[in-house]
Structure 1
Amino acid sequence: MRIAAFEFAEGARFQAGATQDANVVGHHIELLRQQYQGELTPEDVVNDARNNNSPLHSFFEWNDGAAAEQYRLQQARGLIRAVVAVYVRDDKPAARMRAYVHIPEKGSPHYRETSHAMSQQDTRDIVLQRAWKEFQEWKRRYQDLAEFANIFTAAELVKLPKKKRG
Protein backbone atom coordinates (compact mmCIF):
# COMPACT_ATOMS: atom_id res chain seq x y z
CA MET A 1 0.00 0.00 0.00
CA ARG A 2 1.23 3.53 -0.69
CA ILE A 3 0.25 6.99 0.53
CA ALA A 4 -1.58 8.94 -2.18
CA ALA A 5 -2.00 12.24 -0.32
CA PHE A 6 -2.00 13.83 3.12
CA GLU A 7 -4.72 15.76 4.94
CA PHE A 8 -4.96 17.24 8.40
CA ALA A 9 -7.25 15.44 10.84
CA GLU A 10 -10.67 16.97 11.31
CA GLY A 11 -10.54 19.51 14.12
CA ALA A 12 -6.73 19.84 14.05
CA ARG A 13 -5.65 23.19 15.45
CA PHE A 14 -2.38 24.97 14.84
CA GLN A 15 -0.91 28.23 15.97
CA ALA A 16 -1.71 31.36 14.01
CA GLY A 17 0.50 31.73 10.97
CA ALA A 18 1.12 28.01 10.50
CA THR A 19 1.38 26.98 6.85
CA GLN A 20 -1.76 24.98 6.15
CA ASP A 21 -0.66 22.72 3.26
CA ALA A 22 -1.17 19.21 4.60
CA ASN A 23 0.45 17.57 1.57
CA VAL A 24 3.67 19.53 1.95
CA VAL A 25 3.77 18.84 5.69
CA GLY A 26 2.86 15.17 5.31
CA HIS A 27 5.43 14.51 2.59
CA HIS A 28 8.13 16.27 4.61
CA ILE A 29 7.33 14.24 7.74
CA GLU A 30 7.32 11.07 5.64
CA LEU A 31 10.75 12.02 4.29
CA LEU A 32 11.99 12.45 7.87
CA ARG A 33 10.52 9.07 8.84
CA GLN A 34 12.38 7.42 5.99
CA GLN A 35 15.56 9.30 6.89
CA TYR A 36 15.35 7.80 10.40
CA GLN A 37 14.86 4.22 9.14
CA GLY A 38 11.09 4.27 9.66
CA GLU A 39 11.14 5.43 13.28
CA LEU A 40 10.10 9.05 13.75
CA THR A 41 10.16 10.88 17.08
CA PRO A 42 8.81 14.29 18.13
CA GLU A 43 12.42 15.33 18.72
CA ASP A 44 13.20 14.56 15.06
CA VAL A 45 10.34 16.80 13.95
CA VAL A 46 11.30 19.69 16.25
CA ASN A 47 14.97 19.47 15.25
CA ASP A 48 14.01 19.66 11.58
CA ALA A 49 11.55 22.48 12.22
CA ARG A 50 14.28 24.63 13.82
CA ASN A 51 15.48 25.37 10.28
CA ASN A 52 13.65 28.46 8.96
CA ASN A 53 13.38 26.80 5.54
CA SER A 54 11.62 23.69 6.87
CA PRO A 55 7.92 23.46 5.93
CA LEU A 56 7.36 22.51 9.58
CA HIS A 57 8.94 25.71 11.00
CA SER A 58 5.73 27.78 11.12
CA PHE A 59 3.91 25.15 13.21
CA PHE A 60 6.05 25.93 16.26
CA GLU A 61 6.41 28.87 18.60
CA TRP A 62 10.08 29.86 18.54
CA ASN A 63 9.89 32.66 21.09
CA ASP A 64 10.98 30.79 24.23
CA GLY A 65 8.94 32.98 26.59
CA ALA A 66 5.74 32.53 24.59
CA ALA A 67 6.43 28.82 24.10
CA ALA A 68 6.95 28.36 27.82
CA GLU A 69 3.63 30.04 28.57
CA GLN A 70 1.83 27.90 25.96
CA TYR A 71 3.40 24.79 27.49
CA ARG A 72 2.25 25.81 30.98
CA LEU A 73 -1.28 26.36 29.65
CA GLN A 74 -1.18 22.89 28.06
CA GLN A 75 0.00 21.45 31.38
CA ALA A 76 -2.88 23.26 33.14
CA ARG A 77 -5.38 21.75 30.68
CA GLY A 78 -3.93 18.32 31.33
CA LEU A 79 -4.11 18.86 35.07
CA ILE A 80 -7.76 19.96 34.90
CA ARG A 81 -8.62 16.91 32.73
CA ALA A 82 -6.80 14.57 35.14
CA VAL A 83 -8.84 15.46 38.22
CA VAL A 84 -11.46 12.87 39.08
CA ALA A 85 -14.22 13.53 41.61
CA VAL A 86 -15.88 10.88 43.74
CA TYR A 87 -19.59 11.68 43.78
CA VAL A 88 -21.80 10.24 46.51
CA ARG A 89 -25.54 9.96 46.96
CA ASP A 90 -27.48 8.27 49.73
CA ASP A 91 -29.34 6.02 47.26
CA LYS A 92 -26.36 4.94 45.09
CA PRO A 93 -22.80 3.72 45.48
CA ALA A 94 -20.00 6.25 45.07
CA ALA A 95 -19.20 7.05 41.44
CA ARG A 96 -15.92 8.30 39.99
CA MET A 97 -16.17 10.84 37.17
CA ARG A 98 -14.00 13.49 35.58
CA ALA A 99 -14.42 16.49 37.84
CA TYR A 100 -14.43 19.04 35.02
CA VAL A 101 -15.53 19.08 31.40
CA HIS A 102 -14.47 21.50 28.70
CA ILE A 103 -17.17 23.83 27.40
CA PRO A 104 -15.89 25.31 24.10
CA GLU A 105 -18.28 28.26 23.98
CA LYS A 106 -17.31 30.80 21.33
CA GLY A 107 -15.33 33.64 22.82
CA SER A 108 -15.11 32.07 26.28
CA PRO A 109 -14.00 28.43 26.29
CA HIS A 110 -13.78 27.17 29.86
CA TYR A 111 -14.16 24.17 32.16
CA ARG A 112 -17.17 23.48 34.37
CA GLU A 113 -17.74 21.02 37.16
CA THR A 114 -19.17 17.95 35.42
CA SER A 115 -22.40 17.46 37.37
CA HIS A 116 -23.22 21.18 37.02
CA ALA A 117 -22.53 21.11 33.27
CA MET A 118 -24.70 18.02 32.89
CA SER A 119 -27.55 19.60 34.88
CA GLN A 120 -27.90 22.54 32.46
CA GLN A 121 -29.50 21.72 29.11
CA ASP A 122 -27.27 23.98 27.00
CA THR A 123 -23.98 22.74 28.45
CA ARG A 124 -25.28 19.15 28.61
CA ASP A 125 -25.92 19.33 24.85
CA ILE A 126 -22.40 20.68 24.29
CA VAL A 127 -20.79 17.91 26.38
CA LEU A 128 -22.85 15.13 24.77
CA GLN A 129 -22.26 16.38 21.23
CA ARG A 130 -18.53 16.67 21.85
CA ALA A 131 -18.37 13.19 23.42
CA TRP A 132 -20.27 11.75 20.46
CA LYS A 133 -17.96 13.50 17.99
CA GLU A 134 -14.89 12.18 19.83
CA PHE A 135 -16.37 8.67 19.78
CA GLN A 136 -17.05 8.94 16.03
CA GLU A 137 -13.44 10.05 15.47
CA TRP A 138 -12.23 7.09 17.56
CA LYS A 139 -14.50 4.81 15.55
CA ARG A 140 -13.08 6.09 12.24
CA ARG A 141 -9.54 5.64 13.56
CA TYR A 142 -10.14 1.99 14.57
CA GLN A 143 -12.91 0.91 12.20
CA ASP A 144 -10.69 -1.69 10.55
CA LEU A 145 -10.03 -3.58 13.79
CA ALA A 146 -12.46 -6.50 13.93
CA GLU A 147 -12.07 -6.72 17.71
CA PHE A 148 -14.13 -3.53 18.07
CA ALA A 149 -16.92 -4.46 15.63
CA ASN A 150 -19.37 -5.26 18.45
CA ILE A 151 -18.79 -1.86 20.07
CA PHE A 152 -19.44 -0.11 16.77
CA THR A 153 -22.61 -2.14 16.19
CA ALA A 154 -23.89 -1.30 19.67
CA ALA A 155 -23.06 2.39 19.16
CA GLU A 156 -25.46 2.50 16.22
CA LEU A 157 -28.28 2.08 18.78
CA VAL A 158 -27.32 5.23 20.68
CA LYS A 159 -29.66 8.15 20.10
CA LEU A 160 -28.63 11.52 21.47
CA PRO A 161 -31.40 13.91 22.45
CA LYS A 162 -32.25 16.44 19.74
CA LYS A 163 -30.65 19.80 20.40
CA LYS A 164 -33.27 22.29 21.57
CA ARG A 165 -33.44 25.52 19.64
CA GLY A 166 -33.59 28.68 21.68
Structure 2
Amino acid sequence: MKIAKFEFSDGARFQPGAKKDDPNLVGQHIEFLRQQQKGELTPKDVLDDARNPNSPLHSFFEWSDSEAAEQYRLQQARGLIRAVVAVYVSDDRPAVRAKAYVHIPEPGAQHYREATHAMSHAKTREMVLRRALDELIGWKRRYRDLEEFAQLVTVIDQLRDEIAASR
Protein backbone atom coordinates (compact mmCIF):
# COMPACT_ATOMS: atom_id res chain seq x y z
CA MET A 1 0.00 0.00 0.00
CA LYS A 2 1.25 3.51 -0.83
CA ILE A 3 0.75 6.71 1.18
CA ALA A 4 -1.23 9.23 -0.89
CA LYS A 5 -0.77 12.21 1.44
CA PHE A 6 -0.38 13.18 5.07
CA GLU A 7 -2.81 15.03 7.36
CA PHE A 8 -2.85 15.91 11.03
CA SER A 9 -5.07 13.76 13.23
CA ASP A 10 -8.38 15.17 14.44
CA GLY A 11 -7.89 17.13 17.62
CA ALA A 12 -4.09 17.29 17.29
CA ARG A 13 -2.72 20.08 19.45
CA PHE A 14 0.44 21.98 18.73
CA GLN A 15 2.29 24.79 20.42
CA PRO A 16 1.34 28.36 19.49
CA GLY A 17 3.16 29.44 16.34
CA ALA A 18 3.45 25.95 14.86
CA LYS A 19 3.19 26.12 11.06
CA LYS A 20 0.37 23.62 10.71
CA ASP A 21 -0.96 24.82 7.35
CA ASP A 22 0.85 22.10 5.39
CA PRO A 23 0.55 18.75 7.16
CA ASN A 24 1.57 16.97 3.97
CA LEU A 25 4.97 18.72 4.01
CA VAL A 26 5.45 17.77 7.66
CA GLY A 27 4.47 14.15 6.99
CA GLN A 28 6.70 13.90 3.93
CA HIS A 29 9.64 15.28 5.91
CA ILE A 30 9.09 12.83 8.77
CA GLU A 31 8.82 10.01 6.23
CA PHE A 32 12.11 11.18 4.69
CA LEU A 33 13.71 11.05 8.14
CA ARG A 34 12.31 7.55 8.72
CA GLN A 35 13.80 6.36 5.45
CA GLN A 36 17.15 7.95 6.35
CA GLN A 37 17.07 5.89 9.55
CA LYS A 38 16.47 2.64 7.64
CA GLY A 39 12.80 2.57 8.64
CA GLU A 40 13.27 3.04 12.39
CA LEU A 41 12.34 6.60 13.36
CA THR A 42 12.78 7.85 16.92
CA PRO A 43 11.61 11.07 18.61
CA LYS A 44 15.30 12.01 18.93
CA ASP A 45 15.66 11.78 15.13
CA VAL A 46 12.76 14.21 14.74
CA LEU A 47 14.03 16.58 17.43
CA ASP A 48 17.57 16.59 16.02
CA ASP A 49 16.23 17.52 12.59
CA ALA A 50 13.87 20.15 14.02
CA ARG A 51 16.79 21.98 15.66
CA ASN A 52 17.59 23.36 12.22
CA PRO A 53 15.55 26.59 11.79
CA ASN A 54 15.05 25.67 8.09
CA SER A 55 13.39 22.34 8.94
CA PRO A 56 9.63 22.23 8.37
CA LEU A 57 9.46 20.67 11.86
CA HIS A 58 11.22 23.57 13.65
CA SER A 59 8.08 25.58 14.50
CA PHE A 60 6.46 22.62 16.26
CA PHE A 61 8.95 22.87 19.14
CA GLU A 62 9.57 25.35 21.92
CA TRP A 63 13.18 26.52 21.62
CA SER A 64 13.37 28.68 24.74
CA ASP A 65 14.91 26.34 27.29
CA SER A 66 13.23 28.03 30.25
CA GLU A 67 9.79 27.92 28.56
CA ALA A 68 10.34 24.31 27.43
CA ALA A 69 11.32 23.35 30.96
CA GLU A 70 8.15 24.95 32.33
CA GLN A 71 6.00 23.16 29.73
CA TYR A 72 7.67 19.87 30.57
CA ARG A 73 7.01 20.38 34.28
CA LEU A 74 3.37 21.21 33.56
CA GLN A 75 3.14 17.97 31.58
CA GLN A 76 4.64 16.12 34.54
CA ALA A 77 2.06 17.78 36.82
CA ARG A 78 -0.76 16.66 34.49
CA GLY A 79 0.64 13.13 34.57
CA LEU A 80 0.83 13.21 38.36
CA ILE A 81 -2.79 14.37 38.67
CA ARG A 82 -3.93 11.63 36.24
CA ALA A 83 -1.94 9.00 38.17
CA VAL A 84 -3.75 9.54 41.47
CA VAL A 85 -6.38 6.92 42.23
CA ALA A 86 -8.90 7.23 45.03
CA VAL A 87 -10.24 4.31 47.02
CA TYR A 88 -13.93 4.97 47.57
CA VAL A 89 -15.66 3.16 50.42
CA SER A 90 -19.23 2.85 51.57
CA ASP A 91 -20.99 0.68 54.14
CA ASP A 92 -22.96 -1.37 51.62
CA ARG A 93 -20.29 -2.12 48.98
CA PRO A 94 -16.68 -3.25 48.71
CA ALA A 95 -14.04 -0.57 48.22
CA VAL A 96 -13.68 0.72 44.65
CA ARG A 97 -10.53 2.14 43.06
CA ALA A 98 -11.12 4.89 40.48
CA LYS A 99 -9.44 7.95 39.03
CA ALA A 100 -9.46 10.64 41.68
CA TYR A 101 -9.53 13.54 39.23
CA VAL A 102 -10.93 14.09 35.76
CA HIS A 103 -10.02 16.73 33.23
CA ILE A 104 -12.65 19.39 32.57
CA PRO A 105 -11.95 20.95 29.16
CA GLU A 106 -13.76 24.24 29.69
CA PRO A 107 -12.61 26.69 27.00
CA GLY A 108 -10.19 29.16 28.52
CA ALA A 109 -10.36 27.49 31.95
CA GLN A 110 -9.26 23.87 31.61
CA HIS A 111 -8.82 22.21 34.98
CA TYR A 112 -9.23 18.99 36.95
CA ARG A 113 -12.03 18.19 39.38
CA GLU A 114 -12.57 15.38 41.84
CA ALA A 115 -14.20 12.67 39.74
CA THR A 116 -17.39 12.07 41.73
CA HIS A 117 -17.98 15.81 42.03
CA ALA A 118 -17.52 16.32 38.27
CA MET A 119 -19.82 13.41 37.45
CA SER A 120 -22.56 14.70 39.75
CA HIS A 121 -23.05 17.95 37.81
CA ALA A 122 -24.72 17.84 34.38
CA LYS A 123 -22.37 20.30 32.65
CA THR A 124 -19.10 18.73 33.77
CA ARG A 125 -20.49 15.20 33.42
CA GLU A 126 -21.30 15.95 29.77
CA MET A 127 -17.76 17.31 29.23
CA VAL A 128 -16.15 14.23 30.77
CA LEU A 129 -18.37 11.83 28.84
CA ARG A 130 -17.82 13.74 25.57
CA ARG A 131 -14.07 13.57 26.03
CA ALA A 132 -14.19 9.88 26.90
CA LEU A 133 -16.29 9.15 23.83
CA ASP A 134 -13.95 11.22 21.63
CA GLU A 135 -10.99 9.25 22.98
CA LEU A 136 -12.80 5.98 22.35
CA ILE A 137 -13.63 7.02 18.78
CA GLY A 138 -10.00 8.05 18.30
CA TRP A 139 -8.90 4.63 19.55
CA LYS A 140 -11.31 3.05 17.08
CA ARG A 141 -9.85 5.08 14.19
CA ARG A 142 -6.32 4.03 15.13
CA TYR A 143 -7.07 0.32 15.47
CA ARG A 144 -10.15 -0.34 13.30
CA ASP A 145 -8.08 -2.17 10.69
CA LEU A 146 -6.89 -4.80 13.15
CA GLU A 147 -9.03 -7.86 12.63
CA GLU A 148 -8.62 -8.90 16.26
CA PHE A 149 -10.59 -5.82 17.37
CA ALA A 150 -13.43 -6.00 14.83
CA GLN A 151 -16.04 -6.89 17.48
CA LEU A 152 -14.93 -4.03 19.71
CA VAL A 153 -15.14 -1.56 16.82
CA THR A 154 -18.75 -2.62 16.31
CA VAL A 155 -19.53 -2.11 20.01
CA ILE A 156 -17.94 1.36 19.93
CA ASP A 157 -20.12 2.31 16.94
CA GLN A 158 -23.23 1.07 18.74
CA LEU A 159 -22.33 2.99 21.89
CA ARG A 160 -21.68 6.18 19.90
CA ASP A 161 -25.09 5.82 18.21
CA GLU A 162 -26.87 5.18 21.52
CA ILE A 163 -25.29 8.23 23.11
CA ALA A 164 -26.15 10.40 20.09
CA ALA A 165 -29.77 9.19 20.20
CA SER A 166 -30.08 9.99 23.90
CA ARG A 167 -29.10 13.65 23.45
Deviations 1:17-68 (A, max 9, x none): 1111101100000000000000000000000000010000000011100000
User: Would the aligned equivalents of 1:51 and 1:57 in 2 still touch at CA under 8 Å?
Assistant: yes
Whether 1:103 aligns to 2:104 is yes
- Aligned residue pairs total 163
- State the alpha-carbon separation in 1 of the partners of residues 24 and 158 from structure 2: 37
Q: CA deviation at 1:139?
A: 0.7
Q: CA deviation at 1:160?
A: 2.6
Structural mapping, 1:12-161, within 5 Å: 12-20=12-20, 21-158=22-159, 159-160=162-163
Q: CA deviation at 1:134?
A: 0.6
Q: CA deviation at 1:153?
A: 2.4
Query: Secondary structure of the equivalent of 1:153?
Result: helix
Identity %: 66
Q: CA deviation at 1:149?
A: 1.8
Query: Secondary structure of the equivalent of 1:37?
Result: coil
- State the alpha-carbon separation in 2 of the partners of residues 62 and 144 from structure 1: 37
Query: Secondary structure of the equivalent of 1:160?
Result: helix
Q: CA deviation at 1:152?
A: 2.3
- Counterpart of 2:101 in structure 1: which amino acid? Y
Moved over 4 A (4+): none
User: Would the aligned equivalents of 1:128 and 1:160 in 2 still touch at CA under 8 Å?
Assistant: no
Which residue is equivalent to 1:6?
6
Q: CA deviation at 1:9?
A: 0.5
- Counterpart of 1:48 in structure 2: which amino acid? D
Task: Compute the TM-score of the two structures, normalised by the length of structure 1.
Answer: 0.94
User: Would the aligned equivalents of 2:140 and 2:156 in 1 still touch at CA under 8 Å?
Assistant: no
Higher helix share: 2
User: Would the aligned equivalents of 2:136 and 2:156 in 1 still touch at CA under 8 Å?
Assistant: no
- Counterpart of 1:33 in structure 2: which amino acid? R
- Seen in structure 2, the aligned counterparts of structure 1 residues 139 and 28 have a Cα distance that, compared at 3 Å, is same
- Counterpart of 1:122 in structure 2: which amino acid? K
